[in-house]
């Protein structure tokens, strides 16, 4: 069906990044804000629903709309303006984090908040209000957004900032694409004085040591992230490696400016300069199939002592932040069932008890996440925030193709969610595939949910914008 001569919805399979959930939808790739508005009008006229999609890096169903319509913003990828003195940049929503830093690094700027992959779009980063390894220090992506243009189904195009339509500004950031489509976003990048960071690795013996280290370092470190070996039991439960990275001051790194070359920031595509990293996932797949993930984790933990001895060392921003981009298509190691991530955010006072309970329950169920990542967070002013004054633990699970095993994993995660909610915790919808309807108001509280629903009624009265996620949570 054509909107104009150049635009057409095509039926496609649309999935989550984790490959565990997917559905067919009619997909359109607009190239301008006018086409976004026209698509909204057309889908409304057809009585359909519309989901917005950036780079499709959400693990679950946040950017899916099974049997409905999807606007894929990946073709709106122009950098509209950049001030090399202030680092303020205006972009279309499909511009990726990688596009951002490649454009800005030679001027000495880097995005203030980046996720574990640089493939995500600025639209998706804003809608989910992504956090980085520096969330405890600088807040989420939204805290660095200066303004945006939002195309809404019911109220036209709105310009929003902290001074203009401030309520919409604070709700659309974190609003997982439910209030409108960002068509232009202005972000303030941060100044860097070297293309590298100073990095330390510290081997940690248990969960308490990891949490304590985050507390000890968060006043001084720029970035902190802990890898946990979730297979370790008993006194070693929650052991792992904490990585700290600090920005370098002017003149501290004699070679630092050389690394402003974007080509030196990209993670290398070959292992030892020889083996294409695209070939690594089958080896990882074999480790999963042979049940050897526990051994791999043990080896990684043992190796962390050596990394600690050679610390600190210098590493490019790209290499430090985008570890998950090192092995292209690494998620294929979980084929054919795919993966889900369960990432609870737990207030500091309850964190050790709740996180220990989660890890122990997984171990007792014999369903141990192959990856665990611990971060420190702080609250932020966005309506649908996932952050707390506490910690998150991202837990990655392989999904079986056996329906009974798949259902058991979903049940386990729902039981874990109860533990988190009872402990005053929250969840992050970019990583969710399992939460049930009742969780939505328990996560956000009745007052915030009522405010969000009132805004939805004002900006999208026909409930045009929906996704599989929003229907699952009855948003």
Q: Which residues bind ligand FAD (CB under 6 A)?
A: 17, 51-58, 62-63, 73, 93, 115-117, 120-121, 123-125, 127-128, 130-131, 176-177, 181-182, 324, 430, 467
**CB of 54 or CB of 139, closer to ligand FAD:** 54
Q: What is the DSSP string of 75-116?
A: G---EEEEETTTTEEEE-TT-BHHHHHHHHGGGTEE-SS--S
**CB of 60 or CB of 423, closer to ligand FAD:** 60
Name 28's bridge partners. 71
Determine the number of helices (DSSP H) and then strands (DSSP E) in the chain: 15, 22
CB of 449 to ligand FAD, least distance (A): 17
Report the distance separating Cα 370 and Cα 351, nearest Å: 21
CB of 245 to ligand FAD, least distance (A): 14
**CB of 125 or CB of 435, closer to ligand FAD:** 125
394: enclosing H helix or E strand: strand 390-398
**CB of 131 or CB of 244, closer to ligand FAD:** 131
**CB of 96 or CB of 256, closer to ligand FAD:** 96
CB of 16 to ligand FAD, least distance (A): 8
- With beta carbons less than 8 A apart as the criterion, state whether 28 and 3 touch: yes
| Sheet order of strands, 50-53 included | 10-15, 22-28, 69-72, 50-53
**CB of 168 or CB of 237, closer to ligand FAD:** 168
**CB of 113 or CB of 355, closer to ligand FAD:** 113
Backbone CA torsion sign across 129, 130, 135, 141: negative
Helix (H, G, I), strand (E, B) or coil at 412: helix
CB of 284 to ligand FAD, least distance (A): 14
CB of 333 to ligand FAD, least distance (A): 13
Residue 96, by phi and psi: left (phi above 0), alpha (psi -120 to 50) or beta?
Answer: beta
**CB of 117 or CB of 308, closer to ligand FAD:** 117
Angle between helical axes of 293-309 and 281-289 (0-180°, round to 10): 120
169: enclosing H helix or E strand: helix 166-172
**CB of 97 or CB of 207, closer to ligand FAD:** 97
**CB of 73 or CB of 399, closer to ligand FAD:** 73
Nearest residue to ligand FAD by CB is 124
CB of 415 to ligand FAD, least distance (A): 24
**CB of 53 or CB of 317, closer to ligand FAD:** 53
Q: Dig out the tokens for 147 from the structure.
A: 């303004």
- With beta carbons less than 8 A apart as the criterion, state whether 153 and 128 touch: no
- With beta carbons less than 8 A apart as the criterion, state whether 403 and 425 touch: no
CB of 10 to ligand FAD, least distance (A): 17
- With beta carbons less than 8 A apart as the criterion, state whether 247 and 222 touch: yes
CB of 17 to ligand FAD, least distance (A): 4
Q: Dig out the tokens for 457 from the structure.
A: 């009624």
**Residues in CB range of 405: below 8 A, 6 or more apart:** none
Report the distance separating Cα 320 and Cα 243, nearest Å: 9
- With beta carbons less than 8 A apart as the criterion, state whether 90 and 81 touch: yes
Give how far Cα 104 sits from Cα of 36, 91, 400, 461, Å: 28, 12, 42, 39
CB of 190 to ligand FAD, least distance (A): 17
C-alpha distance across the termini of the chain, in Å: 29
CB of 323 to ligand FAD, least distance (A): 9
CB of 130 to ligand FAD, least distance (A): 3
Angle between helical axes of 207-217 and 348-365 (0-180°, round to 10): 150
CB of 376 to ligand FAD, least distance (A): 13
**CB of 395 or CB of 430, closer to ligand FAD:** 430
Q: Are strands 371-376 and 223-228 parallel, antiparallel or unpaired?
A: antiparallel
């Amino acid at each position: 069906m054509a909107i104009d001569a150049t635009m057409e919805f095509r039926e496609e399979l649309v999935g989550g990044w984790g490959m565990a959930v997917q559905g067919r939808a009619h997909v359109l790739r607009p190239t301008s804000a006018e086409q976004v508005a026209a698509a909204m009008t057309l889908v409304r006229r057809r009585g359909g629903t519309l989901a917005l999609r950036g780079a499709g890096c959400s693990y679950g169903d946040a950017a899916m709309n099974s049997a409905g319509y999807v606007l894929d913003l990946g073709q709106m990828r122009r950098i509209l303006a950049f001030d090399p003195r202030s680092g303020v940049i205006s972009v279309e929503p499909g511009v990726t984090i990688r596009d951002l830093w490649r454009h800005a690094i030679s001027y000495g700027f880097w995005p203030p908040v980046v996720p574990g992959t640089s493939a995500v779009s600025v639209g998706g980063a804003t809608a989910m209000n992504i956090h980085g390894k520096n969330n405890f220090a600088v807040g989420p992506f939204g805290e660095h957004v200066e303004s945006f243009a939002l195309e809404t189904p019911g109220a036209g195009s709105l310009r929003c900032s902290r001074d203009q339509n401030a309520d919409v500004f604070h709700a659309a950031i974190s609003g997982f694409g439910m209030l409108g489509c960002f068509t232009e976003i202005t972000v303030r990048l941060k100044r860097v004085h070297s293309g590298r960071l100073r990095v330390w690795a510290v081997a940690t013996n248990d969960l308490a040591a990891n949490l304590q280290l985050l507390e000890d370092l968060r006043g001084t470190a720029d970035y902190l992230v802990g890898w946990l070996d979730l297979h370790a039991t008993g006194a070693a439960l929650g052991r792992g490696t904490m990585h700290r990275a600090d920005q370098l001051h002017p003149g501290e790194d004699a070679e630092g400016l050389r690394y402003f070359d974007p080509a030196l920031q990209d993670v290398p595509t070959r292992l030892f300069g020889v083996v294409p990293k695209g070939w690594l996932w089958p080896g990882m797949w074999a480790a999963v199939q042979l049940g050897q993930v526990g051994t791999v984790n043990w080896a990684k933990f043992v190796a962390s002592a050596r990394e600690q001895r050679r610390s600190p060392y210098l590493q490019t921003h790209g290499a430090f932040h985008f570890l998950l981009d090192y092995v292209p298509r690494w998620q294929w190691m979980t084929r054919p069932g795919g993966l889900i991530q369960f990432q609870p955010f737990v207030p500091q006072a309850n964190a050790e008890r709740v996180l220990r309970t989660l890890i122990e329950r997984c171990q007792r169920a014999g369903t141990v996440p192959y990856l665990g990542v611990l971060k420190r967070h702080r609250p932020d002013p966005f309506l649908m925030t996932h952050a707390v004054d506490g910690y998150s633990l991202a837990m990655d699970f392989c999904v079986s193709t056996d329906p009974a095993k798949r259902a058991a994993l979903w049940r386990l995660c729902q039981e874990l969610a109860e533990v988190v909610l009872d402990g005053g915790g929250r969840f992050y919808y970019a990583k969710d595939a399992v939460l049930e309807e009742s969780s939505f108001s328990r996560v956000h509280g009745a007052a915030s949910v009522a405010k969000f629903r009132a805004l939805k009624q004002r900006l999208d009265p026909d409930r045009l914008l929906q996704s599989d996620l929003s229907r699952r949570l009855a948003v």
